[in-house]
Structure 1
Amino acid sequence: MFNSTFNGLQKGNQPIRSSEGTGGTYFMQDSSQEFISVFKPIDEEPNAVNNPHGLAVSPDGEGLKRGTRVGEGALREVAAYILDHPKGGPRNLSSEAIGFAGVPPTVLVRCLHKGFNYSKGYEGSLKNVKIGSLQMFMKNDGSCEDMGPSRFPVEEVHKISVIDLRMANADRHAGNILFRKGEDGQTVLIPIDHGYCLPENFEDCTFDWLYWPQARQPYSLDTIEYINSLDAEQDIALLKFYGWDIPIESARTLRISTMLLKKGVERGLTPFAIGSLMCRENINKESVIEEIVHEAQDSLLPGMSEAAFLEAISEFMDSQLDKLAK
C-alpha cells in the first residue's frame, strides 16, 4: 500500500480530495491510476488550521466530538487498526492481515504534495510536509446508507458492534460502514473513519447499528470467545509500543468500555443492550455508563489510585448489569 501510493505520486498522479466529510480526505492512486489508499492529514481535520471546508479553528483544541482533540484523528485511525486483532491475537503492524472487525490496514505517514490544502499557500519546503493516516482503499459497492440494514448478515453487524463498543466510537453512522458482495454472494461490512474513537469521555458515543434488528440478536459463541480474549492493559501497552502514549483519559475509556463489553456478554446481553448503556437517549440525559463513572468518582476519597477507581467502576457496573440481566 505505502510503496504503491509513493509510486503513484512519483508517476504524477494527483491526490483527489473527497467532496464528502468535514475534513481533508484524499484518494491516492497507484501508478496505473487505480485508487490504492486514503490519506487524512492531521492539519486538515475539522477545526484544524488547514481544514479545506472553512471550519473555524478550535479555540480550545477540542474536536467536533466531545472528548476528542484536534490533530489526534490520525492516531485514532491507526489505533483502531492496531487494536482490531485477528482471532489469533495481535498482528505485526507490518502485516496487512485483516482483523476481526475488518478495519482496513492503516499507518501513520508523512507526505509532501502541492495537491493538499495549504491555507497560506504551498512553498514546496519541508514545513509543508503533512502528517496523517494512510489507509488501504477498500473496493466496495457503497455504504450502508445505500441499502436497508435487514440485508446485512448478523455476524457482520456484530463484528462492527464489537470494535465500536471497545473503542467507545463517537462517530459510527451508516455512511462510514462500507459493504461489498463477497465471492460467495454474502454481504461483507467494512468499518472506516475511526478518528473519533477512544474519546476522553463517553458523552458523544453513537452507534447507528444500535437500531438495526441484528443488534437485538445474541452474540455467537465465536464472537463471545473473541470478546473474552480482549485485554485492555495489553492493548494500551501495544499502542505505546507502536508510538502512541495514549492519554490517561482515553486509556481509562478503553479500560471501562472493554470491561462493559466483557461483563455484558458474560450475562448474555445483546449488542443492543450493551450499546444502550453506552449511548445517551438524548443529548441532555447522561448514559448509564456516564452515571456509573460519576458514581465511582463520588465514592472515592481524594488521592485514591486508578486501580481503586476502576474497582469502584466494576462494582457499580455489576450492580447495573445484574438488574438488566434479570
Structure 2
Amino acid sequence: MQDASGNKYISIFKPIDEEPLAVNNPQGLPLSTNGEGLKRGTRVGEGALREIAAYILDHPKTGPKFLSCNEIGSGVPPTVMVQCLHKAFNHPEGFDGSDANIKTGSLQMFIKNHGSCEDMGPRDFPVEEVHKISVFDMRTANADRHAGNILLHKDHETGKIVLIPIDHGYCLPEKFEDCTFDWLYWPQARQPFSQETIDYIKSLDAEQDLAILKFYGLDLSAECARTLRISTMLLKKGAERGLTPFTIGNIMCRETLNKKSIIEEIVHDAQNSMLPGTSETVFLESVSRIMDAALDKILM
C-alpha cells in the first residue's frame, strides 16, 4: 500500500480470506479440506492473528512492550488487525464497493530495505543480528523461516547491516512438525550467545506472554499455548547450558521429513508417561525432566 502521493510504500495488507488454501486465495490453490494451513499445526484464516502475535511477542531487551512502544526486539514491523476496502483485492464475485467487499486482515508497516537475505550470502551478517532472529524463531517455533522473509537494510554511511524478520503467519503452530530455520546453515548460528542475549533469554516468561496476548484479545488455543511454553522452556534450558542457536535449533527441526525431531520425541515421551486427565502443569513438569535428560545427553 502506498501513501497519498503514490510514491512511497507505507504498509502491507494481508486479507484473511486470501491466505494460501483460503476461499479467495489469488494463487488458485485448492481449498483446505480439513482446515489445516500449508504448514502442519496451523489453520487457514489464522495467519493474520499470528502476524499480530509475532509483533506483540517481539519484546525489546528492556522487557515486554505495548503496541505504541518505539523500542524493538528482533525487529518485527508493527502489525495490527484492520478492515480494508479496495477493488485491487481478490473479489471473485465482483466488486461493487459495498460492505460485502470489505476485507479483514493484518496490516504491517513497510520497512525500507535493500532486498532479502536471499540476495546475498550470510558471511557479512552481524552475529547479533542473526542471533536475535534465531531467538525469536525458536521461541515462537516458526514453521516458515527462510532467507526470503528476512529483509536486509544496509546503512550507506556506516555499512552496518540490520536484518528485519517478516512473514510470521506460520509461527506458534499447534505442533513442532514443520519447524524450519534457514539460519541453521549460516556460520553465525554456531557462535555462542552473548551474555546480553543469554540475560534476555533468561527474562522470557511464557505465562506472561500468554497473558499479554490475551490482554490484546489473542487467546491462543491450548495446543498453541503448549507450543509456546515448551519452545520457551527449551530455549531457556539450552541457553543456560551454553548451547548455540545451531544446537538448539536442530533439536526443534526434523533431520528428514519422516523422522521426528528431538523436541517431538520429548513431547511424545511425556504424553506417554501421563495418565488420562493429567493437568497441564504436571505434563509440563514431565516435559522438563525429559528435556533435561536429552540436553544432558547432548552435552556428554
TM-score class normalised by the smaller sequence: over 0.9
Instruction: Identify the match of residue 277 of structure 2 among 303, 307, 312.
Output: 303
Q: Percent identity?
A: 72
- Matching residue's letter, 1:104: P
Instruction: Identify the match of residue 206 of structure 2 among 209, 232, 247.
Output: 232
Instruction: Identify the match of residue 220 of structure 2 among 234, 246, 249.
Output: 246
Aligned partners of 1:125, 1:314: CA distance in 2, in Å?
A: 53
Report the alpha carbon displacement of residue 123 of structure 1 after superposing the two structures with TM: 2.7
Aligned residue runs from structure 1 range 31-70, under 5 A: 31-33=4-6, 34-70=8-44
What stretches of structure 1 move > 3 A for 4+ residues in a row? none
Instruction: Identify the match of residue 197 of structure 1 among 152, 168, 171.
Output: 171
Instruction: Identify the match of residue 147 of structure 1 among 97, 120, 128.
Output: 120
Structure-2 residue corresponding to 1:162: 135
SS in 2 for 1:35: coil
Deviations 1:250-284 (A, max 9, x none): 00000000000000000000000000000000101
Runs of 5+ unmatched residues, structure 1: 1-27
- Cα RMSD over matched residues? 0.8
Instruction: Identify the match of residue 276 of structure 1 among 246, 250, 260.
Output: 250
Report the alpha carbon displacement of residue 113 of structure 1 after superposing the two structures with TM: 1.2
Task: Normalising by structure 1, report the TM-score.
Answer: 0.90
Instruction: Identify the match of residue 264 of structure 1 among 238, 253, 270.
Output: 238
Runs of 5+ unmatched residues, structure 2: none
Task: Normalising by structure 2, report the TM-score.
Answer: 0.98
Aligned partners of 2:110, 2:60: CA distance in 1, in Å?
A: 19
Structure-2 residue corresponding to 1:25: none
Deviations 1:14-40 (A, max 9, x none): xxxxxxxxxxxxxx0111221000100
Query: Does the aligned pair in 2 maintain the 1:230–1:258 contact within 8 Å?
Result: yes
1:127 paired with 2:78, answer no
Aligned partners of 2:120, 2:71: CA distance in 1, in Å?
A: 24
SS in 2 for 1:107: strand
Deviations 1:204-243 (A, max 9, x none): 0000000110000000001111111100001001111101
Aligned residue runs from structure 1 range 80-91, under 5 A: 80-91=54-65
Query: Does the aligned pair in 2 maintain the 1:268–1:325 contact within 8 Å?
Result: no
Report the alpha carbon displacement of residue 99 of structure 1 after superposing the two structures with TM: 2.2
Q: Which has the higher contact order (CA 8 A, sep 6+)?
A: 2
- Matching residue's letter, 1:168: A
Query: Does the aligned pair in 2 maintain the 1:40–1:132 contact within 8 Å?
Result: yes
- Matching residue's letter, 1:159: K
Query: Does the aligned pair in 2 maintain the 1:102–1:191 contact within 8 Å?
Result: yes
